[in-house]
Structure 1
């Protein structure tokens, strides 16, 4: 691998995993390789994603060919579909089995489902380090068990590490509710991570600020590394111009979870169509998985309830096909769960397109600060149907009347949020620090 510093990147979800965090993991590993590191990725076997989460095969070719990927086993008993693999206890009393399974999972590390991965990745990290010394570890949540591998190398061999929290560990980003206290087992593990890490990354300023307030002794090492958008996948400036006679396509791309206010969107859409001939000829196109790992009947029902009003669920889009999907939209729907600490990765993709963006989310969301100065931003004053309808109508009008100059300004505004722009400065700082330490040691 030459004389480049060796970084170990630890991520549970890595291509071909289809979860939202995979895009950040892929981009980070590529940024490290592009930025001067030799990169080894430690992640799950492909079969884990094929069996349990689903895959996006279009992502694997995007991994920098210089990156070495080490795949290790991960078991997920709770999602085991083969009844022949079930124990007698699980077959006879699923609740009792679930309680026992949860207890067993958390013995190695206080995280349901993922705790047993700790010894697997600690042993793998040490093996990789012995094969070729690791100069830096970067690990990304969630799950937070990923942080045990860098802690292991840090404690045994003094290897520095970065903890990419993405969101938060100690509180719920949707509600702000505290999930664990400093005195809890989780809290003690978190303090080890914060104290040992060289840097800790978060996706937005509200999360970083709260963590800094709760952990002032570690505030100097806390950084915002926003998600940004991947230029390889997103059209910077959609060329499509709408035909009012044919109607508009108002599009959404992203995972549709329980937190996404689909019902509010459908109710507002129905109301908007009542007073707009163009919208009566238009379609709401929803792309994405419904839920992360399991079906969500309530969400499916909420979508189906809008079918007679032109709400069309079109299924997931492989990452490599996202550009084509954006090219078919006239207006973008930023539909997010309520939460002061919620940004979402899709907001950056939306801004790159230059299309009108409707914020169908609580105005207090962190995403509001990202899009506030976007020239074609149409926020809902609330999630009441009348406010959602008003924003939808305004965005539709803008799609038909916005000048080329305004669209150009939108694209220019979005360019500040490229993924490279978010990651490269931090990677450069890490490379400089590692090289300096190497020079001093030699």
Structure 2
């Protein structure tokens, strides 16, 4: 059988450090492991170095068989070098930003990313001309990546859209962001109508789209994020131990007077940091936690390379009560970070459509997890049934303090049987297992003659 060729289109790919990069890295790798030739179309390294920050350790995780093609990306609105500013931008910045936003959306309705459509489509067509593609898988966000898939569809190449989240739905508020008549709505209607499959990270987001696009609902699937054994110190997919649960991580030192709580992930202003710190302070004051308990907050503060100053100030006020900001953790070191924590804290923005990729890594550790998020969050359905999980009843200091206290108790009372059960529970959420059903189907799509694809 001829080896099928996948074109994988993703703006954020190593060394990008954004949350979606882990899904992109793992998805392309899994296709390569499953016998596909994979070409990744992504932005240049300098894009991430200049604007978002990088995690160089991620590049070593790219399957060596994958061909990475980088397309230059310019982001004028994020340019912090004032020496390059025009007179208009320097003297009338609000006027300049309105003008820039209008210019960005001339060819594609996505602020900041729209101008990338033309170079992206040209690159996709060049690849198609020199090495014909059997399937395109475009992942968002940004959603301009979908334009490359649409361009090759015109040449007879089927495509899959990996939304991850949503383009026309605010996953935090549940508000519809664009009507079918809007430019975004018209683009989405066209893209979904043509797609072979459409993927979402959780059932609530999938169901919302299935209701909005009922005639295409049968092509919509949940492909959860999952966790990656090779990045957490377990067995790499593809080995003879592939079916085993993640290798047990080192449990905390067991010092009952110095329990270590930890949060690892990108923090945005949607994360209830202030409430978490208030709850932490109250838990210590009540005696729900030992006086020397510590809370480590690790990861990026905001989406860009420079930490969000408001969030830094929020964390700083917790310093006297054992709260620390420990900065970003390279992906190759996350297993070590988790091994030094006794209880994991999952703090998320509110919204029934919110899952988070970190919840799956948390599961893989086999350690107690304290949820500090809206009970309606899609993360709740992932955690429900985990033997070492407890959740706050509401996002206020008193409820959070109580949940933190229960988390500490779990860390002290959990026995080997419970920890083994926690790791076994996590095994079903391995990322390769989330992808496997879709890869089986798409292999058939790629090897079907184009005239019979429909």
SS at match of 1:417: coil
The residue aligned with 2:271 is 260
For 2:428, the equivalent position in structure 1 comes to 416
The question of whether the paired residues in 2 share the 8 Å contact of 1:36 and 1:431 is answered with: no
Aligned pair partner of 2:164 in 146, 163, 166: 166
Give the aligned partner of residue 38 of structure 1: 37
- How far, CA to CA, are the matches of 1:302 and 1:365 in structure 2? 24
Q: Quickly say closer, same or farther: Cα 1:278–1:88, change in 2 above 3 A.
A: closer
Quickly say closer, same or farther: Cα 1:278–1:188, change in 2 above 3 A. closer
* Partner in structure 1 of residue 204 of structure 2: 206
* TM superposition shift of 1:438: 6.4
- Structure 1: runs of 5+ lacking an equivalent: none
Q: What's the counterpart of residue 139 of structure 1?
A: 138
Cα 1:134/1:261, change in 2 over 3 Å: same
| CA deviation after TM superposition for structure 1 residue 37, in Å | 1.1
In structure 2, what is the equivalent of residue 361 of structure 1? 373
- TM-score computed with the length of structure 1 as normaliser: 0.97
What is the rounded CA distance, in whole Å, between the counterparts of 2:90 and 2:99 in structure 1? 13
Find the counterpart in structure 2 of residue 341 from structure 1.
353
Counting only pairs closer than 5 Å after superposition, residues 88-99 of structure 1 correspond to structure 2 as 88-99=87-98
Identify the range of structure 1 (264-273 vs 237-246) with the bigger mean alpha-carbon deviation: 237-246
User: Which residue in 1 is equivalent to 2:250?
Assistant: 239
Match of 1:309? 321
Aligned to 1:436: 448
Which whole-Å deviations, capped at 9, do the CAs of 1:347-388 have from their partners, x for residues lacking one? Answer: 000011111100001111110000010001111011121111
Tell me if 1:26 matches 2:37: no
Contact 2:38 2:65 in 1 (8 A): yes
Distance 1:132 1:350, change over 3 A: same
CA contact (8 A) 1:35 1:428 kept: no
Asked whether the 8 Å contact 1:49–1:55 carries over to 2, the reply is yes
Contact 1:244 1:400 (8 Å CA) reproduced: no
1:231-281 Cα shifts (integer Å, max 9, x gaps):
011253322244334411100000110000011111111111123375311
Q: 1:291 aligns with which of 302, 305, 316?
A: 302
298-307 or 93-102, larger mean C-alpha shift: 298-307
Partner of 2:176: 178
Which residue in 2 is equivalent to 1:378?
390
Which residue in the other structure is 1:387 paired with? 399
- How many angstroms does 1:313 deviate by? 0.7
| Alignment partners' CA distance in 2, 1:278 and 1:439 | 66
Counterpart-to-counterpart distance in 2, 1:424 and 1:318: 27
3-state SS, counterpart of residue 58 of structure 1: helix
Are 1:396 and 2:408 matched, yes or no?
yes
Q: Does 1:192 align with 2:183?
A: no
Paired with 1:240 and 1:315, the residues of 2 have a C-alpha distance of 22
What SS is found at the alignment partner of 1:399?
A: helix
CA contact (8 A) 1:15 1:22 kept: yes
Distance in 1, matches of 2:429 and 2:256, equals 34
Does the alignment pair 1:300 with 2:312? Answer: yes
Contact preservation (8 Å) 2:261, 2:342: yes
1:113 corresponds to: 112
Alignment RMSD (CA, Å): 1.4
Q: Which residue of 1 aligns with 2:342?
A: 330
Distance 1:439 1:98, change over 3 A: closer
* In 1, Cα distance between equivalents of 2:317 and 2:99: 39
Q: What secondary structure sits across from 1:280 in the alignment? A: coil
Which digits, 9 at most, give the CA deviation of each residue in 1:170-229, with x for residues without a partner? 111011111111110000000111001000000000000010011101100000000000
Q: Is the 8 A contact 1:19 1:53 kept in 2?
A: yes
The verdict on how the C-alpha distance between 1:243 and 1:277 changes in structure 2, with shifts beyond 3 A counting, is farther
Q: Describe the shift of the 1:148–1:408 C-alpha distance in structure 2 as closer, same or farther (beyond 3 A).
A: same
